[in-house]
């Protein structure tokens, strides 16, 4: 018996057919990143750049602007050649507003701002990273806990140990 041919593919079936489509949301988001990155980079050129070992006030905004521009360009590129949505993404209709993610990410930012001084860097990173991690419905509690611990350790190593920023590990509410 022969398998019925999929539309547009001689002798193929639906399970092997791949369709390419433009992911307009990715293209628009990437374009916004490119515009913002270029804005930061161009704005940074008005300041002294310095060198990698003796950075001026324009060095970090220039580098971050360039990185944001490159990330935006790659997002535009992947948006232009993205394949059709996978089955995991199929349950979300285009245009649905991810209210859970919006509320939890916003809450994490507000909690961080309000809690950094009284709690210190370690507890506030643990709380806000966990809140942000569970914003995605597909993240399990175990995965959220692993993300939380990993990012907290990474942030303490980078900001407190390597960059030697004077951030209290524990705040006054916790005896720090």
- At residue 167, the 3 state secondary structure works out as coil
Q: Which residue has the tokens 């939380």?
A: 148
Average pLDDT over residues 94-104: 84
Prediction pTM value: 0.58
Q: Which domain holds residue 69?
A: 24-84
Higher pLDDT, 90 or 113: 113
Residues contacting residue 7 through CB under 8 Å, at least 6 positions apart = none
For residue 4, pLDDT over 70 is answered with no
Q: Quick check: is 47 in a domain?
A: yes
Domain count, the chain: 2
Average pLDDT over residues 92-116: 87
User: Do 105 and 153 sit in the same domain of this protein?
Assistant: yes
């Amino acid at each position: 018996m022969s398998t019925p041919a999929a539309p547009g593919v001689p002798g193929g079936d639906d399970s092997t057919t791949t369709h390419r489509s433009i992911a307009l949301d990715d293209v628009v988001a990437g374009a916004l990143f490119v515009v913002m990155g270029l804005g930061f980079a161009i704005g940074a050129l008005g300041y002294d750049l310095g060198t990698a070992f003796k950075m001026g006030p324009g060095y970090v905004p220039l580098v971050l602007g360039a990185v944001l521009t490159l990330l935006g360009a790659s997002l535009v590129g992947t948006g232009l050649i993205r394949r059709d949505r996978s089955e995991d993404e199929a349950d979300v209709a285009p245009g649905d507003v991810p209210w859970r993610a919006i509320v939890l990410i916003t809450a994490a930012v507000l909690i961080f701002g309000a809690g950094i001084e009284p709690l210190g860097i370690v507890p506030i990173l643990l709380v806000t990273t966990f809140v942000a991690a569970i914003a995605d419905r597909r993240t399990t509690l175990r995965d959220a806990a692993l993300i939380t611990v990993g990012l907290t350790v990474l942030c303490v190593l980078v900001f407190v140990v390597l960059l030697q920023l004077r951030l209290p590990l524990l705040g006054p509410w916790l005896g720090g």
